[in-house]
Amino acid sequence: MSTQKSYPHLNDAAAALVERTDEDRIYAIREGTWLGYKNAKRILVRMEELLAYPRITRMPNMLLIAPSFNGKTSILRRFMSLHEPDLDAANEVTICPVVMVEAPPKPDIADFYTRILDALMAPYKPTASVTEKYSQIKKLFRQMDVKMLIVDEIHHLIAGSLNRQQEFRNALKSLGNETMVTMVVAGIEDAYNAFNTDPQMSSRFPPEELPLWKASNEFGSLLATLELRTPLRKPSNLKDPTTMLAIHTRSEGTLGDMCDLVKELAVDAIRSKVECVTLDRINALPWVPPSKRKQYRRH
């Protein structure tokens, strides 16, 4: 009998792992996999449309908003993995359609330009001025055929004074205007404030939102997908309404916390030799929910 038939609650990849050592299985569980849920697919489709957009005077952009740890960075990294740099041997240049950086911890234009140059793996003078870095970026964007700039953690923008915030927004606008590169910026809810204070920015960056998850059929389907990919030797039936509600309650509807909670429950199931996730362990596992972490203190 094949491994797949012996473990019908698993997909092929998980079934191939299920007879491996406990540590191998735990490593695979903690490594995680991409989850292509409905909203993630919607955002990726929109980003593909933006990437394929013809260069026009005012390029379309996107502001991706999500609560902390709710999947926005995973989506951005997934998109990056689908559009990796490619060497154009004929012209001896690297084609880099998508560039991704994290916004500086405060609205510092020089730091922002440095991060873009680092992402392009471009040498630059440490003493180069902001103007020199900007000119180099524009030149590299043309040479490397950059079509999209992704800026994660854009809510850091509001960490500076109002003047510094405006200067940073103006730098984004100028970069977009002069290079005709579409921009996808992402952050937590505070990013709304960072952009809505400037009418030009709010019109240039229409928002797309990743809301917290509800205890719905879609959430149950997501748990069912996770179960298929988790190499436990017994079925857990995570989409059972009672089990699903318990996981939703403990993760508070945050995607990242739900995934981490399921991972730790699976690890607990392996180490305890139970080999499935049970309702008792969902309720008993030491786990501080997101809303309590700011108040949490170790005794």
3-state DSSP assignment of residue 274: coil
Residue 261 has a CB neighbour count (10 Å cut-off) of 21
Tens of pLDDT along 157-184? 888 898 999 999 999 999 999 999 999 9
Q: What is the mean pLDDT of residues 240-269?
A: 96
Find out whether 155 and 191 touch, Cβ atoms under 8 Å: yes
Residue 143 covered by a domain? yes
- Indicate if the pLDDT at residue 43 is higher than 90: yes
Distance CA 298, CA 224 (A): 34
Distance CA 239, CA 53 (A): 40
Tens of pLDDT along 260-274? 999 999 999 999 999
Identify the band that residue 56 occupies on the pLDDT scale cut at 50, 70 and 90. very high
Q: Which residues on adjacent β-strands are paired with residue 87?
A: 94
Dihedral of the CA atoms 236, 240, 241, 247 (nearest 10)?
20
> How many Cα atoms within 13 Å fall on the side-chain side of residue 224?
11
Identify the band that residue 299 occupies on the pLDDT scale cut at 50, 70 and 90. very low
Could you tell me the two tokens for 289? Answer: 């929910």
Distance CA 99, CA 176 (A): 13
Tens of pLDDT along 204-227? 999 999 999 999 999 999 999 999
> Do 8 and 71 have their domain in common?
no
What backbone phi and psi angles, to 5 degrees, belong to 153? Answer: 60, 40
The least confident of 22-26, 167-171, 223-227, 285-289 is: 285-289
Nearest alpha carbon to residue 154 among 212, 233, 207: 207
Note down the domain range covering 26: 3-31+213-287
> Do 245 and 220 have their domain in common?
yes
Domain count along the chain: 2
Tens of pLDDT along 83-136? 999 987 676 778 999 999 999 999 999 999 999 999 999 999 989 999 999 999
Residue 292 covered by a domain? no
Residue 123 has a CB neighbour count (10 Å cut-off) of 7
- What is the pLDDT at residue 199? 86
> Do 204 and 233 have their domain in common?
no
3-state DSSP assignment of residue 87: strand
Tens of pLDDT along 69-88? 999 999 999 999 999 999 87
> Do 151 and 57 have their domain in common?
yes
Of 4 and 101, the structure prediction assigns the larger pLDDT to: 101
The number of residues in the chain equals 299
Could you tell me the two tokens for 65? Answer: 């908003």
> Do 103 and 177 have their domain in common?
yes
